[in-house]
């Protein structure tokens, strides 16, 4: 028997090709679900899950009152009605069983993995001017490896295992759908009905993506990058280039609207870090650090953590920021120099910088210097490059043995990533596991010490909780919430004067602390300082006027001062907010029996 030609050795038959087309995405979905299976053992955690779900009745259902809240709310600064609708459906199906919420998030991520396979299948190949004989099946393997690299990477765990981050997988779903329709639009014949339908479908999918989460407002710029490479649409003359810009205008308009609407939400909760605190040099330092951080964690996904806390005070001239800035500049320069020899590299780099920009230090929000969840969309380009590298290696050395070796290597990489993901999902099992893991990675995290203290206190392990709250104040002396928690413990142990001083210290750091005003008011009432108690409870109500327990407590203080009319009104307000409050109902009835004229 003769030796088959090099380009056809090891090439599957057309029948095998058809099987690969059908089974490859299903295999990607199945493997993704398999390695994320431990999420079903996880519960809600006391990091935003409590505010979003456990203490939030507004999302629980799909009735008119729930939908109105979803489409008009900027809860915690986010406008994401489509994501809230998916969570409302979860409550209809599962109630408050966290396993059902995790099931939905995992299924959405698995679907995203399948969609990413089709995206990779379309993008891996056409840029080189056609496939050599026998190479088309290589794209199936390359696309499968890209999809698994994307879906199984442990950086994805936070977006899937943390119910609060449902917005990542929902917005990612519609972003991928929009990209796939855009690629079909580009491939459709000019002037045809299919071309118009695909364009509208891409636009509508992108609009839904922005209604799931606004962070992907940079997609119109990403489409232009794809037009340059790998689609090579900019080689069609000036008139063709003008059309490329005009066709992005509708996308850019809704992106701009999403940005304006998103800023409205940030202003409502005042969650953005001001320029007075982080100036332009500090923001550039944080942005360059995050750009290098996600690349490093993609290559070496070690010591991953749910929280990478920003130091309270830092200099943009620290070594890590200077080195990160130098890496970004040098890497950008080198990739630009090699743009003709390796256009995929510069396209992936520019796409990555665009996608990471909204969550980088340039637009600093919150306490994190970086977050695994921010890699969900931004690191997709690295997954595509991984698939392209596999395809290149199999084309470069087309012998059967070499190709089997390359595929075995890709399978090993996927298995290692999957094993890391399996382990990382256990980090989100419960709140105590979560924060203990953070402290193993970042032992000086004030936030982790505080939240772990809260969990231990709820388990009546007060001495352990106190130690963690003291560590919180050691690393962040201005943490008003920690002063309040320590004050509550001291008050329970009869150390009333020390507790009062702690509440006052909390108010010096955070004058708008409702808890500090409330607890100080209650404590002053116990000590007989009714005027002081009334003043702090009034201030608590100015900050949180819909808090029934504060209205009830103020009513008790006013009653002790013989202000019976005002006391009765306070009890009524408490009952209007929480009709089931037996203590307010009993207090109001007792007051009206003793003073009938107050009816």
Q: What is the DSSP string of 264-328?
A: HHHHHHT-BPPTTTS-HHHHHHHHHHHHHHHHHHHHS--S--S-EEPPSS--TTSHHHHHHHHHH
**Residue ranges per structural domain of the chain:** 14-428, 443-545, 548-599
Residue 541 Cα distances to 42, 51, 341, 534, 544, angstroms: 37, 20, 65, 11, 5
Question: Which residues make beta-bridge pairs with 309?
Answer: 368
* CA-wise closest residue to 521 among 569, 554, 567: 554
pLDDT of residue 127: 45
Measured from the Cβ of residue 416, the count of other Cβ atoms closer than 10 Å reads 13
Token readout for 214 is 């606004």
pLDDT tier for residue 382 given thresholds of 50, 70 and 90: very high
CB 271 within 8 A of CB 77: yes
pLDDT tier for residue 268 given thresholds of 50, 70 and 90: low
- Average pLDDT (540-569) is 92
pLDDT of residue 153: 98
The CA distance from 478 to 379, in Å, is 36
- Average pLDDT (185-195) is 89
The CA distance from 26 to 113, in Å, is 10
pLDDT of residue 274: 47
* CA-wise closest residue to 225 among 359, 344, 374, 386: 344
Q: Does 139 sit behind a cis peptide bond, omega within 30 degrees of 0 on the bond before it? A: no
pLDDT of residue 130: 46
- Average pLDDT (247-263) is 93
Measured from the Cβ of residue 182, the count of other Cβ atoms closer than 10 Å reads 25
Residue positions counted in the chain: 599
* CA-wise closest residue to 569 among 547, 580, 584: 584
pLDDT of residue 598: 52
Question: Which residues make beta-bridge pairs with 272?
Answer: 365
3-state helix, strand, coil in the chain (%, to 5): 75, 0, 25
Q: Is 274 exposed, middle or buried (0-12, 13-18, 19+ CB in 10 A)?
A: exposed
Reported as a single tens digit per residue, the pLDDT across 272-284 is: 554 445 678 888 9
The CA distance from 91 to 93, in Å, is 5
Residue 190: pLDDT above 90? no
Share of the chain above pLDDT 70, in %: 90
Q: Which residue has the tokens 């030609």?
A: 5
Token readout for 241 is 């280039």
- Average pLDDT (535-545) is 94
The CA distance from 372 to 387, in Å, is 22
Measured from the Cβ of residue 296, the count of other Cβ atoms closer than 10 Å reads 13
- Average pLDDT (529-534) is 94
Mean pLDDT of the chain: 89
Q: Which residue has the tokens 């600064």?
A: 77
Measured from the Cβ of residue 153, the count of other Cβ atoms closer than 10 Å reads 25
140 Cβ neighbours under 8 A, 6+ residues apart: 17, 20, 21, 24, 121
> Greater confidence, 198 or 310?
198
pLDDT tier for residue 263 given thresholds of 50, 70 and 90: confident
Dihedral pair phi/psi, residue 365, rounded to 5°: -140, 130
Residue 5: pLDDT above 70? no
Residue 125: pLDDT above 80? no
Lowest mean pLDDT of 264-268, 555-559, 593-597, name the range: 264-268
CB 568 within 8 A of CB 598: yes
The pTM of this model reads 0.90
The CA distance from 432 to 575, in Å, is 35
3-state secondary structure of 318: coil
> Greater confidence, 18 or 41?
41
The CA distance from 159 to 171, in Å, is 11
* Cα atoms found within 13 Å of the Cα of residue 142, Cβ hemisphere only: 25
443-545 and 548-599 in the same fold: yes
CB 327 within 8 A of CB 402: no
Instruction: Please provide the CATH number assigned to the domain covering 443-545.
Output: 1.25.40.10
Lowest mean pLDDT of 75-79, 510-514, 516-520, name the range: 75-79
* CA-wise closest residue to 379 among 292, 293, 298, 290: 298
Reported as a single tens digit per residue, the pLDDT across 230-245 is: 998 887 665 567 889 9
Reported as a single tens digit per residue, the pLDDT across 146-186 is: 999 999 999 999 999 999 999 999 999 999 999 999 999 99
331 Cβ neighbours under 8 A, 6+ residues apart: 349
Token readout for 438 is 């953070």
> Greater confidence, 190 or 268?
190
pLDDT of residue 145: 96
User: Which helix (DSSP H) or strand (DSSP E) does residue 309 occupy?
Assistant: strand 308-309
CB 414 within 8 A of CB 142: no
CATH class, 548-599 region: mainly alpha
Residue 361: pLDDT above 70? yes
Residue 83: pLDDT above 90? yes
The CA distance from 30 to 110, in Å, is 8
Reported as a single tens digit per residue, the pLDDT across 210-219 is: 999 999 999 9
* Cα atoms found within 13 Å of the Cα of residue 409, Cβ hemisphere only: 14
510 Cβ neighbours under 8 A, 6+ residues apart: 480, 481, 516
Helical residues (DSSP H) of 338-363, grouped into ranges:
343-356
Residue 17 Cα distances to 8, 13, 21, 24, 140, angstroms: 14, 6, 6, 10, 8
Q: Is 403 exposed, middle or buried (0-12, 13-18, 19+ CB in 10 A)?
A: buried
> Greater confidence, 438 or 261?
438
The CA distance from 577 to 580, in Å, is 9
């Amino acid at each position: 028997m003769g030796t088959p030609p090099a380009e056809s050795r090891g090439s599957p038959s057309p029948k095998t090709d058809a099987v690969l087309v059908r089974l490859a995405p299903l295999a990607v979905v199945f493997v993704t679900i398999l390695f994320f299976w431990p999420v079903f053992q996880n519960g809600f955690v006391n990091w935003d899950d409590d505010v979003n779900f456990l203490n939030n009745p507004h999302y629980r259902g799909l009735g008119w009152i729930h939908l109105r809240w979803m489409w008009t709310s900027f809860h915690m600064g986010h406008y994401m009605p489509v994501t809230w609708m998916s969570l409302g459906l979860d409550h209809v199906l599962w109630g408050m069983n966290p396993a059902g919420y995790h099931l939905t998030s995992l299924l959405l991520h698995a679907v995203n993995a399948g969609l990413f396979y089709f995206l990779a299948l379309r993008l891996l190949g056409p840029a080189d001017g056609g496939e050599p004989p026998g190479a088309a099946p290589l794209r199936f393997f390359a696309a499968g490896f890209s999809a698994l690299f994307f879906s199984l990477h442990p950086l994805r765990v936070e977006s899937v295992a943390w119910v609060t981050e449902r917005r990542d997988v929902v917005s990612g779903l519609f972003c991928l759908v929009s990209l796939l329709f855009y690629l079909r639009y580009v491939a459709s014949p000019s002037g045809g009905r299919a071309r118009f339908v695909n364009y509208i479908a891409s636009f509508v999918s992108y609009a839904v993506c922005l209604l799931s989460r606004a962070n992907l407002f940079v997609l119109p710029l990403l489409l232009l990058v794809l037009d340059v490479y790998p689609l090579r649409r900019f080689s069609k003359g000036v008139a063709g280039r003008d059309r490329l810009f005009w066709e992005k205008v509708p996308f850019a308009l809704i992106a701009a609207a999403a940005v304006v609407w998103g800023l409205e939400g940030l202003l409502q909760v005042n969650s953005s870090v001001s320029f007075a605190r982080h100036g332009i040099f500090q923001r550039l330092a944080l942005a360059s650090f995050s750009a290098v951080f996600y690349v490093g964690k993609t290559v070496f996904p070690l010591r991953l953590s749910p929280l990478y806390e920003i130091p309270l005070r830092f200099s943009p001239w620290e070594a890590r920021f200077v080195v990160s800035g130098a890496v970004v500049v040098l890497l950008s320069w080198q990739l630009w120099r090699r743009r003709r020899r390796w256009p995929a590299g510069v396209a992936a780099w520019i796409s990555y910088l665009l996608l990471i920009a909204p969550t980088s230090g340039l637009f600093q929000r919150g306490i994190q210097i970086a977050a695994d969840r921010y890699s969900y969309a931004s690191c997709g380009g690295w997954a595509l490059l991984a698939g392209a590298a596999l395809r290149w290696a199999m084309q470069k050395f087309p012998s059967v043995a070499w190709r089997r070796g390359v595929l075995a290597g890709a399978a090993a990489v996927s298995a290692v990533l999957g094993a890391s993901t399996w382990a990382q999902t256990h980090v989100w099992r419960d709140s105590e596991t979560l924060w203990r893991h953070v402290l193993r990675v970042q032992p000086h995290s004030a936030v982790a010490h505080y939240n772990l203290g809260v969990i231990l206190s709820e388990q009546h392990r007060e001495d352990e909780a106190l130690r963690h709250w003291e560590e919180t104040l050691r690393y962040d002396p201005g943490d008003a919430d920690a002063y309040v928690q320590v004050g509550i413990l001291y008050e329970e142990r009869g150390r009333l004067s020390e507790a009062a001083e702690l509440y006052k210290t909390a108010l010096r750091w955070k004058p708008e602390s409702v808890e500090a005003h409330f607890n100080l008011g209650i404590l002053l009432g116990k000590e007989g300082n009714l005027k002081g108690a009334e003043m702090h409870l009034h201030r608590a109500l100015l900050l949180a006027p819909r808090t029934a327990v504060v209205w009830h407590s103020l009513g008790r203080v006013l009653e002790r001062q013989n202000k019976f009319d005002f006391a009765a009104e306070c009890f009524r307000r408490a009952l209007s907010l929480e009709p089931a409050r037996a203590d307010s109902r009993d207090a109001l009835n007792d007051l009206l029996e003793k003073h009938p004229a107050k009816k």
